[in-house]
Amino acid sequence: MSSFLNNFLKLDENIRKSSDIALIWEGNYWDDQNVHDCCDIDWKTLNFMIEKVAIVFKNYFLEEKQNIEENQERKILIYLPKIIQLPICILAAIRVGITPVILDPLSSNQNVLQKFPLIVTCDYVWQAQKLIEIKKKVEDFGQILVIRHVAPNYGIPAPRKQIIAKRPTYFLTCENPGNPEKIRIKFDLRNGKDDKWSKKMEEVSDSEVETGLKLSGNFSNSEKNTAILISDGEILEKIEISELLALLEKKKEEIMNSVENIFVLDFPKNLDSFANFLLPWYIGKTMTLFEGCVNYPDSSRISQIIQKHSVNCIISTQELQILHPNYLKFFDFSNLKQLIGDNEILKDAYKL
């Protein structure tokens, strides 16, 4: 394990065990019948996934068939919303000395985009009841490794009733006056230009991953020259590994000792929010991510996640438009002990 990743993934049995939960992900959809998207990953699985993704990334820069020229800078555009693969891809790129370029597909200006040897993205994402096409935005900027996030698997028949904003999505109904139109949602791959995420993961054997995990420090030299490029939507900011670690060291002192699960509401858009994003793993705590909108179906969704996953701390430094803040009190949030950030609405609602 490289020295940088040791800060995040080296297991100290006095602090956490391999079976403890490292990542909790909540999707956009939830209703009052408690139907929702949800996933959790333990530390052992997280280590395994990061190593597997790192091998896939490394192979892109080794295989001639990917048409990546030798003189091209080793950069990967990570163009993902807050889905499971976002933090995994960031650490996997650094693992093999590749610069991750992190852009929020929901807010970044298209002018920030440029040609990349490899782009990691997903097909679509739901935000409240709006379906947003993600891959189409970057099809002109390089080879794409695409995650099936919303589109259904081939050959699986659609349900009799499709629920809006729920994955997988088979059809989208466009309400044209007097002529409603059903548009089929497909997982389209362009020949030679798009690769399927799941297929690339299958190509890496478990034994290859286990071997990589045993090679202590194998990529530490390349990692030292790795930086992170990140955008607030308008310009790219370069972040050095050393300054990121220095800020994480400072921020870890802010977290109460009793905190075990940290709900990160921010998307990484600058050095400060990037450090906030990685802080849970840096101090060996559970990271909770939410893909959707804080006001869907209403703002009580935040408190529902807090109650369901026993969240102890929220990090929210970016401005959030929280509608009807009194709804935040609809669920039990007694486990919540700390709020990092200046969100006065959350502070007032949770009395923190």
Helices (H), 61-122: 85-95
Q: What are the extents of the domains in the chain?
A: 3-350
The torsion angles phi and psi of 186, rounded to 5 degrees, stand at: -120, 155
- For residue 216, the model assigns a pLDDT of 44
| CA distance linking residue 288 with residue 261, whole number of Å | 7
**Quick one: average pLDDT of 21-27?**
97
Give the global pTM. Answer: 0.92
Task: Specify whether the CB–CB gap between 317 and 276 falls below 8 A.
Answer: yes
pLDDT digits (tens, 9 = 90+) for 218-239: 444 455 557 899 988 778 899 9
Task: Specify whether the CB–CB gap between 281 and 22 falls below 8 A.
Answer: yes
Q: Which of 73-87, 177-191, 267-281 has the lowest mean pLDDT?
A: 177-191
| CA distance linking residue 121 with residue 86, whole number of Å | 9
SS3 label, residue 113 = coil
pLDDT band, residue 138 (cuts 50/70/90): very high
| CA distance linking residue 30 with residue 298, whole number of Å | 11
The Cβ of residue 135 has, within 10 Å, a number of other Cβ atoms equal to: 22
Could you tell me the sign of the dihedral formed by the alpha carbons of 331, 337, 339, 345, in that order? positive
Mean pLDDT (the chain) is 88
Task: Specify whether the CB–CB gap between 193 and 202 falls below 8 A.
Answer: no
pLDDT digits (tens, 9 = 90+) for 284-307: 999 999 999 999 989 999 999 999
- For residue 230, the model assigns a pLDDT of 92
Q: Pairing state of beta strands 227-231 and 171-174? A: unpaired
* CATH fold label, 3-350: Rossmann fold (3.40.50)
pLDDT digits (tens, 9 = 90+) for 316-338: 988 888 999 999 999 999 999 99
Nearest to 203 by CA among 73, 62, 349: 62
| CA distance linking residue 35 with residue 21, whole number of Å | 22
**Quick one: average pLDDT of 149-159?**
89
Nearest to 151 by CA among 78, 136, 90, 66: 136
